[in-house]
Structure 1
Amino acid sequence: MFINCHSFHSLRYGTLSIEELVKQAYESGAKELVLTDINTVTGIYDFKKECEKFNIKPIPGVEVRKDGKLLYVGIARKFSGIGEINKVITGHNCDGKELSEIAPELKEVLIVYPMSNIPSELKANEYIGVRMEELNFLIRPEYERYISKMVIFHPVTFSTDEEYELHKILRAIDNNTLLSKLTKRDACRRSEYFIAEQQIVKAFERYPQIIENTKNILVECYFEFDFKEVKNKKFYTKSKEDDLKLLRRLAYSGLEKRYGLNHEIAKKRVEKELKVIDELNFCSYFLITWDIVCYSNSMGFMHVGRGSGANSIVSYCLGITDICPLELDLYFERFLNLNRKTPPDFDIDWSWQNRDTILEYIFDRYGKDHVAFCGTNVEFKYKSIFREVGKVFGLPKEELDDLTSKSMERHDQNSVVELVQRYGKLLEQFPNQRSMHACGILISEEPITNYTALEMPPKGFPIVQFDMNVAEDIGLEKFDILSQRGLGTINDTVNLIRKTRGITVDIRDTKLSKDEERSNEYLAIGRTIGCFYIESPAMRGLLRRLKCDNYRTLVAASSIIRPGVAQSGMMREYIFRHNHPDKFEYFHSIFEEHLKETYGIMVYQEDVLKIAQYFGGLSLADGDILRRAMSGKGRSIEKLREVKANFFDSCRKLGHSEPLTAEAYRQIESFAGYSFCKAHSASYAVESYQSLYLKVYYPLEFMVSVINNQGGFYRTEVYIHEAKMSGGNIQTPCVNTSEYQTTLKGADIYLGLMLLEGLETKVAHSIVEEREQNGEYRSLEDFIRRIPIGIETVQILIFIGAFRFTRKPKNELLVEARILLVNFKPEQRGLMLIEEPVQEFKLPQLKREQFEDAFDEIELIGFPISCSSFDLLKTKYRGSVFVRDLLQYHKKQVKMLAYLIARKHVPTKKGTMYFGTWIDVNGDYFDTAHFPDSLKKYDFQGGGCYLLLGTVEVDFHFPTITIHKMAKMPMIPDPRYAYDKEKQYDVHRQIKEDISMTHRKPYPQEQEIGLPRKQFK
């Protein structure tokens, strides 16, 4: 009798999970259940599975609402009816079609209208829902004629009094209003919970027709769905046979290019893979991926095929990946095997600049009716819970900020806060909104609205209403179309080299991207700032500890850097064994035989398969099940238990003792959840080498591209420092030389206008466009005539030195700008700026202090350009020890002066500790460790220069300083606001007072030198 049930997928409305909804239905005696979440089918597939556990007949539907008003409930007669409803919701979400109060013609859908929205005429498939509390209305003549078309309408939204209050809180959040201002219309009725079916039937006993109509709906409707059938586009060509022929031809064509004609091992591997791919009906999946890559290549885009897909020699031959699985002994079974129930997974990266073009191609090529992004359910998180719940209880912003910034134990306790905490706990793991999956694209054989309604997020690509786990469950395999800034940097560098030097670098040439001699030298000393994946302090430290000077070691480093590996002690053990290959014993001879490359340690996910196969006697397919289950990707606990039992039984048969088997399994278990796929690490390593090669041979072009791609571990200041260390002459923005992005002219690097805080993007582009069309600016007056601009913006450009080509001092330019722009209004521009010369004026000669420009730069860009941050300190002391000497000070105490460039906090049992990264006065990098005890007295005081006292610890060639004391060093007073000795006047302030230039705020002396207005990473 329950034909209108809401789960918490009715966002900010329902309070019951799918599991709890079905369980309560079972307890109430329901034999059939209809899920009708509001404007969504998010939960219907989980709902079907859950109902079948309790032997309840599942029926899917949708409650259609517009602006909070219930229009009607659509219940699918059969699965195709869901597609009809989905098209209605999709039309509204994506095409802006109005939801009409009367349901459209839907052949396989039964419509139930509420009493508040009865149409003038009812179609054959339409009914009116009557609640128990509305039965009294039926005696009225206007309703009596509808009785034959009425059904029982008992919505379910919550289960307890507490959940009803939670529902009201959700409604207040959704309506952005106080709980006290919520109206009855905004919330559900107090009766919307499960009661015994007999009680409902009893209430309607005077109207047997209504009871019969309801039963007929429940009998007539059903939900048949084949979860096992692949829903992806079935054929790339016209048939499975043609797909296989095309895939075979492409594979062998690529085989010849990659390996030549007589490589028998490669041929056997290709044939083996093609057989499995065909049996699992994945030919079209490979061909579609190949097609996307072909389009990318035709556009001249760089891509990286990574993830487990690089374990396939077919994907290597098709050009999807550039990792040879034979070279690295990669198992195809890690990617695809006959026992694997889950889909394959191609992860392909493009530059962040090109990804949208690739997406547009996919949507156009395969049809907008068949392509959509995966969705995600964004849950209420700690901060959003307390902010949203606190808001509906009327707490002011200051208290909301306090609640979200502290743990619950530290909250001020009062009756309102206790209520916020009580209901906040209930909201944990509740979906709050639907969003777009970062990269997962679905391409379906049938129209995708057959399975889901679509939504249109701000990004502009439609999304399905369920997440990747549901997509996987129902047979829709996603294509991961990712983007990253590292590829953008590589591509921009290659283009810049061609432009500045006339040299074409074939960066895909593996002679460049693997084991290049000078690149290996840089790698071994961790000189990798700006390089994809290998520039973080932790990675640079690992490279130095390993003296990493080759591709294979870099591949291993890319895997063991993972946090879980480090915490398990595996990374430490690997470093020791790498440096002392004769001072350890292998756990077992099988580990020595099959894991010799990694010194008997399971560094990669493929290593788990090797041990499962060779030590445990499992098949590769069962080994992959074991790996997936342990990593959390396999959701069948029963299957894990089964494979674990098989592992122990097989080891017993192979003669391994119980303790030996248990230890081997423990090692698998401790590592499987954290390990990297070897192919994934190898793909990253190739891209890292490509970046490093460009950094080694074309450092200025490379660093300019890093700056322009706005990516990486560090803030822009660090990359500018690195460019300066590489011989670049850094120039502040100039209206006659700079572009929107940073540019390179010989050894001169002109910072881009985009780096100026406060300069609008539109204005920055117009400065460049006007100059390109009509030539350089001859003067400040000429600039103001040509660019519609206000005094605040002109002021920014003057203070950064963008008019230095005029050879006029800044104070003179400020006065000139004010005279030109006095009472400036855009509509008067033409009248005011008639070609008349500006009145001649003369200022007294004003002395400009040495570091005024530096303080202007700090204010407008975030760090000094014209001098070093060390030059702005009061002290002349520059440290007793420098980075170049640290290896000589093992276990000794040192005092250093250093500039902070990054810090990372790490929670420990004793409290938070930090790792810091610094540069000394010579510009060299070093790292520090700050333990909780020292931080209590000597904590970080923001960015800037610090005096450090600590003990050097050299660990496998890599020095780290454990800090005992540190103090932030004071900087000189800002000379722009300091009075001279004769106390005549403050130059900047005098100008501002005289000409009423009050917009520009003084830069506080305590401001951190060079610290941008963003937190440290």
Structure 2
Amino acid sequence: MYLNCKTYFSYRYGTFGTQELVDTAAAKRVKALALTNVNSTADAWDFVDFCRQAGIKPILGAEIRNDQQLMYILLARTDQGLMHINQFISQHLIDKKDFPSRPLLEQVWVIYPLGRYKPEQLEAYELIGVRQEELVKLYGQSPEKHPRKWVVLQPVTYQNKTYYNLHKILRAIDLNTLLSKLNAGDMAGENEFFKDKLELWNGFSEYGFILENTLQVINSCEISMALHTDKNKKFFTSSKEDDRILLEKLAMEGLEERYGAGHRLARERVMKELRIIHELNFSAYFLIVLDVVRYAQNRGFFYVGRGSGANSIVAFCLKITDVDPIKLDLYFERFLNPHRTSPPDFDMDFSWQDRDEVIDYIFKRYGREHVALLGMYSTFQGRAIIRELGKVFGLPKPEIDNLVFRRKEQYPPEDGIQRAILRYGALMEDFPNYQSIHPGGMLISEKPIHSYTALERPPKGFNTAQVDMFLAEKIGLFKLDILSQRGLAHIKDAIGLVKQNKGEEVDIRQVERFFTDPKVADQIRRADTIGCFYIESPAMRQLLTKLRCDDYLTLVAASSIIRPGVAQSGMMKQYIERFHHPHKITYLHPKMKELLEETYGVMVYQEDVIKVAHHFAGLDMGEADILRRAMSGKYRSHNRFKLIEEKFFANCKGLGYPEEVSREVWRQIESFGGYSFSKAHSASFAVESYQSLYLKTYYPMEFMVAVINNFGGFYKTSFYFHELKKSGAKVFPPCVNQGHYLTSILGDEVITGFVHVQNLERKTMDRVLGERAKNGGYHDLTDFIERTHIDAEQLNLLIRVGAMRFTGMEKKELLWHANFSRKRMDTVPVMHSMFQEEMPEFQLPDFPKRPLEDAMDEIELIGFPLGRPFDLVDDDRSGLTYVRQLASLIGKQVCLLGQLVTTKPVRTIRGDTMAFGTFLDEEGDWLDTVHFPPVLKRYPIHAGGFYRIMGKVVQEFGVYSVEVQQLISVGLKKA
């Protein structure tokens, strides 16, 4: 009877969770149930899974709407019918066109609302749905003349009256209107809940043929697809065996290149991995990833292969990754083993400039019928819920702000509307709000992708599945992550600039050489890492200093313990203390010292959990990985985990360990397992960090220009210009005769790019630079205006930022001539003069120039001065301390002048707010500060600017900072 059920994946319409819908049906002893979300099949396979577990026959379909108008309900009679429904939905969502009034779909029932068509007008697959409250409309129509055309239609949209109210709220949010302004056509009817079966039977008792036909329609529908079975592209070549042979051939070639001939351990591991890869049907997956990598290599794209795939020596030999798993003692089972219940994946990072082309290649190489980006969905959360509900209830913004602030108070507000907002807001917490895109996941299926999901296409994007990663996993589709990051663009552009500016070629993949380079080691030891991927933040630079980091393995550890969960758990502090005092470490057992001496007895990595479980407790590698996954929050409820726990203690007893030692090792696994990070991830990050470090060490100017041109990094652009000048570069304002849209470098001279000039239009500069490229540099102001026909506002911006300095005139004189010339040109046709018309001569007065005028123009137009920012500070320098002096002033009171770089507010255990600050002093050195709650409350830190910083110098493991006691904002000089 229930052929039209919706969940909250009918976004901002339904109120049932998928499991809740099935559980409700099971409680009412429903034997068959149809899921028909609005223009969506997003949770179809969860629904099928839950129904099968509950002994309910699942029927899949969709409710098709054009805006608010219900067109029809589609029900799949077979798996193929579902594929046709997905294709149908996808076609109209992607093309953004209305659904037709009558669809033509194979293996699909089409149910129209009563009154849309007469039964004699319908085809064999078309039906009319009748609601119980609509039965009176059948009188006089003789429905018995067409008994096969009618079915019972009892929509299920919400649970009860309370959720009906929530449904109306969701509709108001969706339509961006006040709740009081909703029309009847904007929302569901008042009877769209689970009516009792007996009530429906009794209601349709006069029309037994409708009940009978409804049952026949239900019986005709069958979804047979099995879940949790491999649905991915089966073969890269023509067969599984050919895939095995090709992968082995390529891996053995790479083995010789990576390790040379005769490396027995590496060869044995390659062969072991190849056997497991073949047995688990992963050969095609490896070959597809390799295919993508080789395309990137051929196009000159930089990439980093990371994720748990970096645990594989086969991936290393194929140059999918640059992480040596033998050198780092990485376990393949962390990536792939027979016990894994979910498929692993490779994370492939590309430059943000190249990623879309790589994605486009995958679509074209493997076919748009088989490829989709992975979807996800955004949910209603916290403060956003209160704001949305406040708007639809019509509350003024100040009242909404107050309610957001007070939402977690123990006692509810007395106002009825505010109580309703908090009540319904709690009900809709975690409801899906809208379809989104996974950051990088891609699906490549053997059957057409529409067999599993409908697709959407975000603006300027690629076809995106309506299913998320969890549902894809349930279906049996594993993802390939094609991610983007700006760090790779820094590297790529820096190499290009080095070649262009110095004529030198840099082979950035020679990372083993970088690991042992003494200059690079010194650079990282001094934490001179601004601009370098993953290691430039204040916290990371402090950690590098505390660990005296100057080698690859220490950087790998630092990349892991800097993670938020690790740091908050106290593990980072424990690691640092043990690093400095290794003689104080007490190991539980000699075996634990053998296993964890590299990390000072701390399980820093997920691989450490596997190592201890395998080598200490005797679990096999697959079981050890299950334990690792369970400790990180997965599968803890599974019976398999309990069995492994029992085996852990039984093995320990059999190995003769005292029970208290075994219990303590288990406790440590539990303690560290939830926070530890993948060593392969950290190792991959560290490789890219070293590549950035090498470029910053040997080519600091080119590297920093590349960072600036990619607008990526922890800090604002102005501080990368600071680093650029610190490296010896001479920085000049933009120039129409020598500059480019992006910042450029020639020798040690850098010309700021036009991209940094606020309100300067890209189309204007494309015209200016295009004309220069075509017909040569500009001779003077008149030549520039006549050739570019630039408008007055854009011309004034160029003059004020200094881009017209090639004329030899001062800005004010240029502005006068420019505006006069523009007015003359506005009165003549827009064309090049046949004869050069000379500019009339004028005797202009002397325009006074103030010392800071250019700097102030740069602050207004670029956002920061290109010269020395401290020249603008209106403050006496007497009695100041500088960062270079702090090491000799530990415990002393000091006063520094600093430019604020960034702050990080944190909560104390007592719930108070404190902050860590980062400043630059006048000599260009970086200063770390600590602002405890009382000081922060009395001396708040405002955005940007200069401060007098008074406090006490403190030191922790070689990091010097100032505990602030007073912070006074310092003004700027008048221009």
Matches within 5 A, 1:829-868: 829-830=830-831, 836-866=837-867, 868=868
Residue-by-residue CA offset, 1:733-761 (whole Å, 9 max, x unaligned): 11111100000011111110001111112
After superposition, the Cα gap between the structure-2 partners of 1:653 and 1:924, relative to the gap in structure 1 and judged at 3 Å, is: same
- Could you tell which deviates more after superposition, 938-947 or 647-656? 647-656
Please give the per-residue CA displacement for 1:193-217, whole angstroms capped at 9, x wherever unaligned.
0121011111000111111111112
Structure 1 residue 136 displacement after superposition: 0.4
1:278 aligns with 2:278: yes
Distance 1:763 1:833 in 2: 24
Structure-2 residue corresponding to 1:33: 33
1:948 maps to 949
Q: For the residues of structure 1 that align with 2:378 and 2:799, how far apart are their CA atoms?
A: 46
Shift of 1:394: 2.6
List aligned pairs for 1:202-213, cutoff 5 A.
Answer: 202-213=202-213
* Mean Cα deviation higher: 86-95 or 242-251: 86-95
- Matched residue of 1:141: which SS? coil
Mapping for residues 101-500 of structure 1, pairs under 5 Å: 101-106=101-106, 108-118=107-117, 121-141=121-141, 145-396=145-396, 409=409, 414-500=415-501
Cα distance change, pair 222–539 in 1 and its aligned pair in 2 (3 A)? same
Contact 2:588 2:661 in 1 (8 A): no
Q: CA deviation at 1:260?
A: 1.8
Supply the distance in 2 between the matched residues of 1:912 and 1:225 (Cα, whole angstroms): 54
In structure 2, the partner of 1:12 is 12
SS at match of 1:117: coil
Counterpart contact for 1:742–1:749, Cα < 8 Å = yes
Name the stretch that deviates more: 321-330 or 137-146.
Answer: 137-146
Q: Which moved more, 1:36-45 or 1:510-519?
A: 510-519
> CA separation in 1, counterparts of 2:466 and 2:825?
52
Q: 1:633: Cα distance to partner?
A: 4.4
1:694 deviates by: 0.7
- Per mean C-alpha deviation after superposition, the further-off stretch among 35-44 and 583-592 is 583-592
What is the aligned partner in structure 2 of residue 594 from structure 1? 595
- Residue 635 of structure 1 and its aligned partner are, at CA, apart by 7.1
Relative distance call for 1:639 and 1:968 in structure 2 (3 A) is farther
Amino acid in the other structure paired with 2:724: A
Deviations 1:210-245 (A, max 9, x none): 111111122222222212321110000111111111
In structure 1, distance between residues paired with 2:117 and 2:657 = 75
Q: Give the 5 Å matches for 1:614-1013.
A: 614-634=615-635, 636-822=637-823, 829-830=830-831, 836-866=837-867, 868-877=868-877, 880-908=880-908, 909-973=910-974, 975=975
Q: Could you tell me which amino acid in structure 2 is paired with residue 453 of structure 1?
A: A
AA in 2 matched with 1:538: A
Paired amino acid for 1:262: G
Query: Residue in 1 aligned with 2:88?
Result: 88
With 450-459 and 174-183 compared, the bigger mean Cα shift is at: 174-183
1:614 to partner: Cα distance: 2.2
SS of equivalent residue, structure 1 residue 329? coil
Give the match for residue 22 of structure 2. Answer: 22
Amino acid in the other structure paired with 1:732: P
- 1:779-819, Cα deviation, whole Å (9 max, x unpaired): 22222222243322222211111111112121112222222
Give a deviation string over 1:350-392, Cα, whole Å, max 9, x none: 1111111111111110001000000001112334323322222
Distance 1:971 1:409, change over 3 A: farther
How far the C-alpha of 1:19 sits from its partner, in A, is 1.5
Structure 1 residues 565-599: Cα deviation after superposition (integer angstroms, max 9, x where no partner) = 11222211221222222232223222211112111
SS, match of residue 212 in structure 2? helix
Aligned residue type for 2:225: F
Give the TM-score normalised by the residue count of structure 2.
0.96
Distance 1:878 1:963 in 2: 19
Flag the 1:530–1:37 CA change in 2: closer, same or farther, 3 A: same
Q: CA deviation at 1:940?
A: 0.5
> Contact conserved, 2:813 with 2:847, CA < 8 A, in 1?
no
Distance 1:812 1:400, change over 3 A: farther
Measure, in 2, the Cα distance between the counterparts of 1:671 and 1:306: 22
Checking the alignment, whether the CA contact within 8 Å between 2:614 and 2:624 is kept in structure 1 is yes
Judged with a 3 Å threshold, the aligned counterparts in structure 2 of structure 1 residues 438 and 153 are, in CA distance, closer, same or farther, namely same
Paired residue type of 1:438: P
Say if 1:22 and 1:51, in contact at 8 Å, map to a contact too: yes
Aligned-partner Cα distance in 1 for 2:650–2:150? 62
- Structure 1 residues 835, 200: closer, same or farther in 2, change over 3 A? farther
Letter in 2 for 1:856: D
1: CA distance, partners of 2:263 / 2:215: 68
**CA 1:799–1:151 in structure 2 vs 1: closer, same or farther (change >3 Å)?**
same
Structure 1: distance between partners of 2:424 and 2:843: 70
Q: In the superposition, relative to structure 1, how do residues 741 and 667 fare at CA in structure 2: closer, same or farther (>3 Å)?
A: same
Q: Distance in 2 between matches of 1:719 and 1:858?
A: 16
The two structures, once aligned, show a CA RMSD in angstroms of 2.1
Give the conservation status (yes or no) of the 8 Å contact 1:788–1:826.
no
Please state whether the residue corresponding to 2:583 is helix, strand or coil: coil
Contact 1:137 1:143 survives alignment (8 Å): no
Specify whether residues 456 and 402 from structure 1 end up closer, same or farther in structure 2 by C-alpha distance, changes over 3 A only.
Answer: farther
Give the conservation status (yes or no) of the 8 Å contact 2:306–2:347: yes
CA separation of 1:831/1:183 partners in 2, compared to 1, >3 Å: closer, same or farther?
farther
Between the aligned partners of 2:685 and 2:285, the Cα distance in structure 1 is 23
Q: In 2, are the aligned partners of 1:101 and 1:117 still within 8 Å (CA)?
A: no
Name the SS of the counterpart of 1:822 in structure 2.
helix
Partner of 1:1002: none
Distance 1:468 1:828, change over 3 A: farther
| SS across alignment from 1:74 | strand
- Shift, 1:97, TM fit: 5.3
- The Cα of 1:98 is off from its aligned counterpart by 4.2
Aligned-pair CA distance for 1:687: 0.9
Task: Note the C-alpha offset of 1:637.
Answer: 4.1
Gaps of 5+ in 2: none
Distance 1:415 1:829 in 2: 67
Q: Deviations over 1:535-580 (max 9, x none)?
A: 1111110111111111111111111111111122221122122222
Superposed CA offset, 1:461-510 (max 9, x none): 01110100111111101001111111111111111111111111111113
Residues 982-1013 of structure 1: per-residue CA shift (max 9 Å, x gap): xxxxxxxxxxxxxxxxxxxxxxxxxxxxxxxx
* 1:507–1:513 Cα contact (<8 Å) kept: no
Amino acid at match of 2:109: L
1:812-869 CA-to-partner distances (Å, cap 9, x unmatched) read 1222222223398699645999964444333221221111111111111111113x22
Could you say which residue in structure 2 is the equivalent of 1:998?
Answer: none
TM-score (norm 1): 0.93
Contact 2:113 2:130 (8 Å CA) reproduced: yes
Shift of 1:696: 0.8
Q: 2:352, 2:364 → 1: CA distance? A: 20
Q: Does the residue aligned with 1:595 lie in a helix, a strand or coil?
A: helix
Contact 1:513 1:687 in 2 (8 A): no
Alpha-carbon offset, residue 50 of structure 1: 1.6
CA-CA distance at 1:905 after TM superposition: 1.4
- For the 8 Å contact 1:915–1:929, the answer to whether it is kept is yes
Q: Which moved more, 1:25-34 or 1:399-408?
A: 399-408
Determine whether 1:514 maps to 2:518.
no
How many residues get paired? 972
Could you say which residue in structure 2 is the equivalent of 1:993? Answer: none
Residue 397 (structure 1) shift: 5.2
Whether the aligned pair in 2 keeps the contact of 1:347 and 1:480 (CA below 8 Å) is yes
Distance 1:519 1:676 in 2: 26
The whole-number CA distance in structure 2 between the counterparts of 1:805 and 1:879 is: 43
